[in-house]
Amino acid sequence: MKKVGNPKSFSKTFFSLALTLVFAFAVNAQEPAAAPAPAADAVAAPAAGAGDPAKGKELFNTNCAACHKLDAKATGPALRGVGDKYDKEWLYKWIHNSADLIKSGDAKAVKVYEENGKVAMTAFPQLSNADIDNIIAYTMQPKEEPKAASVAPITGEGSSDSGSSNTLILGALALVLSILIFMLFTVNNLLKKVIDAKGLEFEEKPKSLPLWKAFAKNQFLVLVSAILFLLISAYFAYGYLMQIGVDQGYAPIQPIHYSHKIHAGDNGIDCKYCHSSARVSKNAGIPSLNVCMNCHKNINEFQGDKDSTYVDYSKEFYTGEIKKLYDAVGWDPATQKYTGKTKPVKWVRIHNLPDFVYFNHSQHVTVGGIECQKCHGKVETFEIMKQDQPLTMGWCINCHRETNVKVEENGYYEKIHAELSKKYGKTKLTAAEMGGLECGKCHY
């Protein structure tokens, strides 16, 4: 019998090629159209009145916000709509010098004084009547209601044509594919009939040796592969073991959200105001909640601009975290008093050196003059606090080798600096040159 090639190979190849082309065209035809950009909200014009609300807001934040809120009682009463409650001339006298007005026996002044715990209001003689008019205009503005997030409706304009064209293209491709499949089956059946009629046989190709068997018979390749496998395994095993206990990037969720980006970044609060023990102690310490309440007695809601770049969460979220603080310390913002009911806050520790390592914050911060950012990163940009550096032994040693010790006007290093300067013949010395690489400095 005469041997011929396998007709199935041609049909399979042709069918696979047709299917690939159709799939590619279908994917390209179904690319989504770009969504239209939302229209910008119109900016409301400032309300007209006796004063300028915009200037009044600036004056209010500078002079009044420490003790007053617009819609909630703080140290003083809420000031929304104060212009409707009191005569303007009376407000001039009260703001300029409330103590004199109370001493004069003015009934309104005495009533306000007694209703607010007999806390005297600070006098503001530097404010002109025009300034007070601007503040009143700001307090008379209606309260802004929170806007619900709006979703732009899908109009369908500009998409109907593309949708119909995609449907036509897919329909045409499906028709072509159906015709090709029909033709392939027809040709395949015809070839089978011709082979059976003429008594032909398929020519079978000799089977090649499997790749793994060919590899196993080559002893040189097996030896080289084994050596490479062992070296690569040792490299990855060493890298894995060296990362045990290294928590760089660790950023746990705390029971009360605290944004360093807002406090240290936007408000410029110094790190050592909260972590005061870092200047005099081995440990930086966990700030007491009383330190938080130094400011948050009068800050009971988030006041940041909604368009500010440092806001990663909503205003309601930040205000809710302040309420968690109040609940922990037992503070009632309505009565401006402590209830006596406190709850412990279980902070999650982030930076934690092994027990066999000694590190003294005061020696680095006070004596060495090292900035907090050197070890902790740019915390003023962190919304969630994290471990910025690896804090490994190699990282510390490298810092000791590169960092010059600040000895100017530093009596701690005066004697040792004079002796080592003669030894090394230079005025600036690194921590390593002053004994910073001795094992007993950190391990004892």
Half-sphere exposure of 182 (CA within 13 A, CB side): 6
The DSSP letter of residue 380 is G
Cα gap 281→297, rounded to integer Å: 28
Cα gap 64→82, rounded to integer Å: 13
Closest Cα partner for 367 from 440, 429, 437, 280?
Answer: 280
**Three-state secondary structure call for residue 216:** helix
**Is residue 279 pLDDT above 80, yes or no?**
yes
Pure H helices in 158-247: 160-198, 211-217, 219-242
Cα gap 354→62, rounded to integer Å: 47
Give the model confidence (pLDDT) of 345-375 as tens digits: 999 999 999 999 999 999 899 888 899 999 9
Give the model confidence (pLDDT) of 281-312 as tens digits: 999 989 999 999 999 998 888 877 655 555 67
Cα gap 409→368, rounded to integer Å: 12
Closest Cα partner for 50 from 148, 132, 146, 166?
Answer: 132
More confident residue, 150 or 177: 177
**Three-state secondary structure call for residue 331:** strand
* Mean pLDDT value across residues 241-267: 92
Mean pLDDT of the chain: 81
Give the model confidence (pLDDT) of 118-164 as tens digits: 777 888 888 888 889 888 988 888 877 655 544 444 444 444 566 67
Which residues are within 8 A (CB) of 225 and not within 5 positions of it... i.e. 6 or more apart?
none
**Is residue 420 pLDDT above 90, yes or no?**
no
Cα gap 235→237, rounded to integer Å: 6
Q: Which two tokens stand for residue 44?
A: 């409301």
Longest alpha-carbon distance in the chain: 131
Give the model confidence (pLDDT) of 182-210 as tens digits: 998 898 888 888 887 877 766 666 667 78
**Is residue 93 pLDDT above 90, yes or no?**
no
**Is residue 400 pLDDT above 90, yes or no?**
yes
Q: Is the dihedral of CA 345, 348, 353, 359 positive or negative?
A: negative
The DSSP letter of residue 433 is I
